[in-house]
Amino acid sequence: MADLHARPARRSRSPRRARSAGAAAALVLALSACGGGDSEAGGGATTDGDVTTLTWQMWANSQIETDALNRLSEMVTEQHPDIRLQLQTSSFADYWTRLTAQASGGDVACLLGVQGPRVPLIADLLRPLPEDELQGAGIDMADFNEEMAASLQVDGTQVAVPFDLGPLVVFYNADAFEAAGVPLPEPGWTVEDFTAAAEALQASGIDAYGFFPTYDAFTAWSLTLTGQQAIGDDGELNLDTPEMAGVFETLQAMREQGLSPALPATNDGLESLNQYMAGNTAMVVDGPWQYGNIVQNAAFTPGVAPMPAGPDGSASHLAGSGYGVSANCSAPEEAVRALSVITGPEALQYLGEIGRAYPARTEQAASWYQGELADAQPALEYAIENSTYLRTNPQMNQLGQLFQQYGIPAFNGQQDAGAFLQQIQSQVGGS
């Protein structure tokens, strides 16, 4: 990285403490098959009298995420007393592997969490959601971010309804910045500003930036440094290029210069986020869906900034998620009615207000900017305006697994960037 030291003006920030998700304890369930009733419907659903219980598989990496999902389950039953949801959660990293394993055994839930970039991985597990069926349940796809809705389609047909979207951004420890005498970052800050801030933070006694080698975080840096993603428009993977090697070399250099701590051998993709929330590092790159978790658990004032601008300006990628109905769901009508609630205006307003999700419904998007979090609005809107959608291909899950597996030793300096990326390219390919 270059070493220019132009810095933005100081801005004060204060944290927002996430509100309780409500009475959720009764709905917190471990991963298990749906319990029996008077009659078994099978296919991820059971019936007991006039009540249909649907299993719902979703990822949750924190208590605030689990609480939020439980509150959505309550909303479904409040609006449709004949429907109950039985929640099954796992970590985001484990979700896709577990879902594949369950599919092979015919044990897939009725409702499934679906991330846009991973639609190609599970398209065969999802039931098409024709427009007339969605509209019959009160779901108008025109109410959602158009590109996010398109990312949850297969051959032009919806297979999931969006609930959130967001770019990767830089979360920072405002208290650490102020203690180091470093101005808080604002839209328009550059890679040179990032480097200067990192050096000052490190000199003050805190690790400046925590990086964990996920493909998503790497792509945020590749976009802002080179304007490129490793997956092309045609879905081909082009990871073994000089440009991609240069991006990873930049990240390795942060560790070599002492600006980023070395990584332990771990499968925990939240390692760097957890170190940031513990106050051990001053910056981390993640998405707005983590904000509720951060403000609830961090013992400092957090802030939000866009990715620092490279040669062609700040850039990041957008991704988002939704909920679909599994192809084997034996109660699809009830499942679509449940979808209308958990992706409805009330639900997305709630998710935005607690900082869990930046709503994919356009009219509810502003709900994310509540209280002190309103101060983050310029940074997040700037990041959204300067982002492109994360490209994907059917090997996305394998790519992510290998990136993490080989990325930790490579980041720690045990392998050069080119060899690391070539290793993944040779195993994944671009098809």
Structure confidence by residue, pLDDT tens digits, 283-301? 999 998 888 889 888 989 9
β-strand partners of 319 = 166
Structure tokens at 324: 């679909």
Q: What angle do CA 93, 94, 99 make, to 5 degrees?
A: 120
- Cα–Cα distance, 80 to 139 (Å, whole number): 15
pLDDT at 316: 95
Residue-level pLDDT at 337: 98
- pLDDT value of position 372: 64
Q: Are 68 and 171 within one domain?
A: no
Amino acid in the structure at residue 48: D
Residues of the chain with pLDDT under 50: 1-41, 430-431
Domain-located, residue 151: yes
- Reading the block at residue 48, the tokens are 């007991």
* pTM for this predicted structure: 0.83
Is 385 inside a domain boundary? yes
pLDDT digits (tens, 9 = 90+) for 54-89: 999 999 988 888 999 999 999 999 999 999 999 999
Co-location of 181 and 310 in the same domain? yes
- The rounded distance, in Å, linking the Cα atoms of 73 and 67 is 10
DSSP state of 90: E
At 334 the pLDDT is: 97
Say how far apart CA 380 and CA 386 lie, in whole Å: 10
Domain that holds residue 140: 25-166+320-372
**Buried residues in 396-428 as b, exposed as e (16+ CB within 10 A):** bbebbbbbbebbbebbbeebebbebbbbbbeeb
pLDDT at 35: 35
pLDDT at res. 27: 29
Note whether 206 and 326 are same-domain residues.
no
Residue ranges with strand state E in 193-242: 207-210
Shared domain for 47 and 74, answered yes or no, is yes
Tell the residue number behind the tokens 């309103």, with chain if given.
Answer: 374
Cβ neighbours of residue 405 under 8 Å, at least 6 residues apart? none
Q: What phi, psi does 374 have (nearest 5°)?
A: -55, -25
What average pLDDT does the structure give for the chain? 88
205 burial via Cβ count (<10 Å: 0-12, 13-18, 19+): exposed
- Answer whether residue 138 is part of any domain: yes
Report the number of distinct structural domains present in the chain. 2
- Please choose, from the candidates 290, 23, 304, the residue with its C-alpha nearest in 3D space to the C-alpha of residue 172: 304
CA distance 325 to 110: 6
SS3 56: strand
In a shared domain, residues 368 and 403: no
**Domain of 291: which CATH number?**
3.40.190.10
- Tokens representing 406 are 């080989």
